[in-house]
Amino acid sequence: MKIHPTVTLSRVEQAVERRMSSLDNPGFCVACGADADGCEPDAREYECEVCGELAVYGAAEVLMELA
Protein backbone atom coordinates (compact mmCIF):
# COMPACT_ATOMS: atom_id res chain seq x y z
CA MET A 1 0.00 0.00 0.00
CA LYS A 2 1.36 3.41 -0.96
CA ILE A 3 0.72 5.90 1.86
CA HIS A 4 0.43 9.65 1.32
CA PRO A 5 3.50 11.43 2.83
CA THR A 6 1.36 13.51 5.22
CA VAL A 7 0.16 10.33 6.96
CA THR A 8 3.14 10.10 9.29
CA LEU A 9 3.91 7.55 11.98
CA SER A 10 3.45 10.22 14.67
CA ARG A 11 0.05 11.23 13.31
CA VAL A 12 -1.14 7.62 13.13
CA GLU A 13 0.13 6.79 16.63
CA GLN A 14 -1.82 9.77 18.02
CA ALA A 15 -4.96 8.55 16.26
CA VAL A 16 -4.55 5.03 17.66
CA GLU A 17 -4.10 6.44 21.18
CA ARG A 18 -7.18 8.64 20.69
CA ARG A 19 -9.16 5.56 19.65
CA MET A 20 -8.16 3.75 22.84
CA SER A 21 -9.02 6.64 25.16
CA SER A 22 -12.20 8.02 23.58
CA LEU A 23 -15.11 7.13 21.34
CA ASP A 24 -13.27 8.36 18.23
CA ASN A 25 -12.82 5.96 15.31
CA PRO A 26 -10.10 7.70 13.30
CA GLY A 27 -8.80 6.66 9.94
CA PHE A 28 -6.81 8.11 7.08
CA CYS A 29 -7.08 8.36 3.34
CA VAL A 30 -3.79 6.97 2.09
CA ALA A 31 -4.39 8.57 -1.32
CA CYS A 32 -4.84 12.23 -0.30
CA GLY A 33 -3.83 12.24 3.39
CA ALA A 34 -7.22 13.38 4.73
CA ASP A 35 -8.46 12.43 8.18
CA ALA A 36 -11.52 10.19 8.26
CA ASP A 37 -13.96 9.56 11.10
CA GLY A 38 -16.17 6.57 11.76
CA CYS A 39 -13.62 3.95 10.72
CA GLU A 40 -13.24 0.60 12.39
CA PRO A 41 -9.60 0.03 13.39
CA ASP A 42 -9.23 -2.62 10.67
CA ALA A 43 -11.13 -0.68 7.98
CA ARG A 44 -9.84 -1.09 4.43
CA GLU A 45 -10.76 0.69 1.23
CA TYR A 46 -13.57 2.89 2.54
CA GLU A 47 -14.53 5.78 0.28
CA CYS A 48 -12.81 9.08 1.07
CA GLU A 49 -15.19 12.00 1.56
CA VAL A 50 -12.51 14.40 0.29
CA CYS A 51 -11.09 12.79 -2.86
CA GLY A 52 -13.56 9.97 -3.53
CA GLU A 53 -10.92 7.25 -3.72
CA LEU A 54 -11.46 3.89 -2.03
CA ALA A 55 -8.37 4.52 0.06
CA VAL A 56 -9.54 5.11 3.65
CA TYR A 57 -8.03 2.75 6.21
CA GLY A 58 -8.49 2.55 9.96
CA ALA A 59 -5.69 4.01 12.06
CA ALA A 60 -4.61 0.61 13.42
CA GLU A 61 -4.46 -0.81 9.90
CA VAL A 62 -2.26 2.08 8.73
CA LEU A 63 -0.06 1.71 11.83
CA MET A 64 0.67 -1.92 10.90
CA GLU A 65 1.79 -0.78 7.44
CA LEU A 66 4.06 1.95 8.81
CA ALA A 67 5.62 -0.10 11.60
**Whole-prediction pTM:** 0.91
Backbone angles phi, psi at 28, to 5 degrees: -140, 145
Return the domain boundaries, the chain: 9-66
* DSSP annotation of 32: T
Distance CA 36, CA 16 (A): 13
Q: How many CB atoms lie within 10 A of CB 25?
A: 17
Contact indicator for 48, 31 with CB cutoff of 8 Å: yes
Residue 64: the pLDDT is 93
14-32 confidence digits (pLDDT tens): 999 998 888 889 999 999 9
